[in-house]
Copies of this chain bind each other. A is one copy, B any other.
């Protein structure tokens, strides 16, 4: 595990961007990660991992997928060891655009542990999130697939249900709730409602000024987290728990 701790934020440019645009986005994310002291997972296209690694300092570089193979045949498979060698710290698995069978998911999480990659595994429902928790990945994305790319974020109830489904099985797993995040306000609402983390893909990639949007979103993570904890402290104070 790479030391990622809440609150954190995931950015996945997918195939919306390529080349220099990926590099520039990664740099902007690196700056904002530092400025707001928020861990950032940057899910990087395979071909860009080494270049993103070379120009960033603080963001956590994840690959979008890998295969559970060992060194050997596999012309187009993604070898776990090759990701580590390229500079990745982790890997995303089971995204709705690349669903895995249970068996392959189990094998791939095992391989990730073998080579020292952090795992962020996507679930499509609270039921799925609870099932995947039994495989003990580091992070679970509880994303409602039907909201991917819609600009309509998940509600508070979903955030709580997803978190409970996961933490009832393994309280050490971090839970990222996303899908439909399109600006800083969406980010704020999601974190303030209780999520460990959130993230954005098209919301960042399609923004008119991507660097500004990254700054807005990551800033919102920090602000929401701090306000939530202040509010929580005030609540405790009111209840007399903080009295001396």
Give chain A's interface residues, CB within 8 Å of chain B: 12, 14-20, 22, 43, 45-51, 63-65, 69, 71-79, 81-86, 92, 94-106, 123-125, 127-128, 130-132, 134-135, 145, 149, 201-202
Determine the chain B residues whose CB is within 8 A of the CB of A134 once the complex forms: 127, 130-131
- State the CA gap A224–B101 with chains docked (Å): 35
Answer whether A46 and B46 are a contact pair too, CB < 8 Å, given A73-B149, A102-B128. yes
- State the CA gap A130–B136 with chains docked (Å): 13
- State the CA gap A101–B105 with chains docked (Å): 9
Answer whether A15 and B47 are a contact pair too, CB < 8 Å, given A127-B134, A132-B102, A134-B127. no
A-B contacts, 5 listed (Cβ < 8 Å): A19-B85, A45-B78, A47-B85, A101-B101, A102-B132
Closest chain B residue, CB of each to CB of A80: B18
Cβ distance A125 to chain B, nearest Cβ, rounded Å: 7
Those 7 A-B pairs whose CB atoms lie nearest each other, nearest first:
A19-B85, A99-B101, A15-B74, A18-B82, A46-B46, A47-B86, A15-B79
Cβ distance A23 to chain B, nearest Cβ, rounded Å: 10
Cβ distance A244 to chain B, nearest Cβ, rounded Å: 46
- State the CA gap A243–B236 with chains docked (Å): 61
Determine the chain B residues whose CB is within 8 A of the CB of A145 once the complex forms: 103
- State the CA gap A124–B130 with chains docked (Å): 19
- State the CA gap A65–B73 with chains docked (Å): 15
On whether the beta carbons of B98 and A94 are closer than 8 Å, the reply is no
- State the CA gap A145–B43 with chains docked (Å): 33
Cβ distance A61 to chain B, nearest Cβ, rounded Å: 11
- State the CA gap A51–B51 with chains docked (Å): 9
On whether the beta carbons of A15 and B48 are closer than 8 Å, the reply is no
Cβ distance A111 to chain B, nearest Cβ, rounded Å: 12
On whether the beta carbons of B97 and A12 are closer than 8 Å, the reply is no
Cβ distance A241 to chain B, nearest Cβ, rounded Å: 36
Cβ distance A94 to chain B, nearest Cβ, rounded Å: 7
Determine the chain B residues whose CB is within 8 A of the CB of A149 once the complex forms: 73
New contact pairs (11) apart from A14-B74, A18-B71, A131-B134, CB-CB < 8 Å: A14-B73, A15-B77, A43-B75, A47-B63, A47-B85, A51-B86, A75-B92, A76-B97, A96-B103, A102-B124, A130-B134
